[in-house]
Amino acid sequence: MIPAAGLGTRFLPATKELPKELLPVLDRPVIQWAAEEAVASGADEIVLVLAEGKEALAAHLRPDPALERLLEERGKTAELEAVRRAGNLCRITVARQASPRGLGDAVLCAAGAVGDRTFLCMLPDDLSLAEPPVLRQLWDAHERLGTPILALMRVPSDQISRYGCAEIAESRGKLHRVSGVVEKPPAAEAKSDLAVMGRYVLTPAIFPALRETAPGALGEIQLTDAIGRLLATGEVWGVEFEGELLDVGTPAGWLATNMRLGRGHPEFQSAFASIDAGDA
């Protein structure tokens, strides 16, 4: 499940008309990076949660026979292959969120499409730079433990107030049993330096938990609150994943990620080399 019905206010004015998930990172939009990670992690279907006006996200991940025909006629083989790849990663299902009532509400909007399945949930604001991908590491942890799994990342203690913070009951190496999650705690009150990142394995029990979760100050339903409710009836574990998540949900993060990936990319590194040499 990819919740992508948010407003993208941190990226205005770029996102006034264009969804942030369609901004390119190198040669492909953010949503394709997310879908490729999901498929590389074993997903065979993606449920996209979309707001009105964001239908192009689903269109990007579905076949485009007219464009394919045109590229074929013109002998643009490499381009045709790239277009076919983007449109045939896996089955795409769309769920709608009527108004931006928060991440928890967005997940709940996909309940019908997900049904009685345990599922991976990912926020496309971060790209996985990891082998195996971060989502796959979470799924592997789920196969060992059988519980919901959170992606955990250690952060400097003065930065924990920007994240959801996990309270830990027990640790087995990089696996941690979570006893609570507090959204953006003041640094002095944080129970750990483990931040909860936007990748999850969730069980269908999350849906009744979300229905019972009252909206917070801005009328938004927090996924974190519903995960807290799951702790009353069963275990939730977190995995301190190997590798990195790269921010593409803010202008500064998006720029830095493009530069970081571009410098190491066979097709684009010469463009960066020319900038570094001062001749651009």
Nearest residue to 177 (alpha-carbon basis) of 166, 165, 192, 188? 166
Binding mask 236-255 for ligand UTP (x = CB under 6 A): -------------x------
Sign of the dihedral defined by the CA atoms of residues 203, 204, 210, 212, in that order = negative
Among 35, 48, 61, 97, binds ligand UTP (CB under 6 A): 97
Contact track, ligand UTP, 9-28, x by CB under 6 A: xxx-----------------
Nearer to ligand UTP, 83 or 121 (CB): 121
Options 23, 34, 106, 141; binder of ligand UTP; rule CB under 6 A? 106
Integer Cα distance of 32 and 40 in angstroms? 12
String marking each residue 124-163 x if it binds ligand UTP according to CB under 6 A: xx--------------------------------------
- Asked if 225 interacts with ligand UTP (CB under 6 A), we say no
Helix (H) / strand (E) element for 69: namely helix 65-73
Among 28, 84, 101, 229, binds ligand UTP (CB under 6 A): 101
φ/ψ region of 102 (left if φ > 0, alpha if ψ in -120 to 50, else beta) reads left
**Cis omega before residue 251 (within 30°)?**
no
Shortest spacing between CB 50 and ligand UTP, in angstroms:
8
Distance CA 99, CA 96 (A): 9
Name which of 83 and 105 has its Cβ closer to ligand UTP: 105
